[in-house]
Amino acid sequence: MAFRFIVGKRLAGLAAAGFMLVAAGCQGGDTLGAMKLPGLGGDSAQAPAQDDRISIEELQAFCPRVAVRDGGAFYDSFPRNVRDDPSKLIYRATIGDMTRSCTYANGMTTITVAVAGRIIPGPQGKTGTVRVPMQVTAIQGTQVVYSQTRNHEVAVSDTAGATQFLMTETNITIPTPTTRNVAVFVGYENSSSR
């Protein structure tokens, strides 16, 4: 009887270990290729992986900070000819977070800026597409080296809560700065609209 109990525990342990190996193999995209079995996805003629390593120059390179410009953190939308009446507010757009990344080539720096925001419906809010005027500006010292304003469209499907959105600006290309005197500012173009 003790013998059957020990054998049963060993079989259950082996079964559990086998299941964990199978489950771990399911986590990868090319499980048979990882085993290098001929004819089962492990062909030796696979293309070499692209070298995505970061060079020491890129690691030490300057990527300008991004911040919300003064007065650009929110945008209120009202009906025409109405302003600053909270009972007539259609929606308020806010900026929640932002980030940036940089790439470097041929003496140029390309900056990609991403802004996460929210559309909060007001008393006059309704579903549909709203346009928020988002401005992205890069300043080097005191000189504006890039400025773009665009109406970013956000689909609002529910007026009971906030709608989140993400706007990405990818066209910011400037000469690679020799000093760390570049900053990127994001914000809504006007604090309120009519």
The CB density around residue 78, as the number of other CB atoms within 10 Å, is 19
Q: Is residue 28 part of a domain?
A: no
How far is the C-alpha of 111 from the C-alpha of 129, rounded, in Å? 28
Report the amino acid identity of residue 125.
G
59 three-class SS: helix
Is 13 part of any domain? no
Quote the mean pLDDT of the chain.
Answer: 79
Q: Is residue 78 part of a domain?
A: yes
φ and ψ at residue 142, rounded to 5 degrees: -115, 0
| pLDDT (0 to 100) of residue 138 | 95
For residue 29, the model assigns a pLDDT of 45
**In 106-157, beta strands by DSSP E:** 108-121, 128-140, 143-156
End-to-end CA distance of the chain: 86
Any idea what the CATH number is for the domain that residue 154 is in? Answer: 2.60.40
- This prediction has a pTM of 0.67
- Considering its fold, how many domains does the chain have in total? 1
- Joined together, the tokens standing for residue 22 give 């199978």
Residue with more model confidence, 49 or 25: 49
Q: Which pLDDT value is given to residue 194? A: 41
Report residue 175 as tokens.
């000469």
SS3 83: coil
pLDDT in tens, 68-123: 999 999 999 999 888 888 999 999 999 999 999 998 889 899 999 999 999 999 99
Longest CA–CA span in the chain (Å) reads: 90
d(CA 83, CA 89): 9
Which domain, by its residues, includes 99? 62-193
Would you say residue 116 lies in a domain? yes
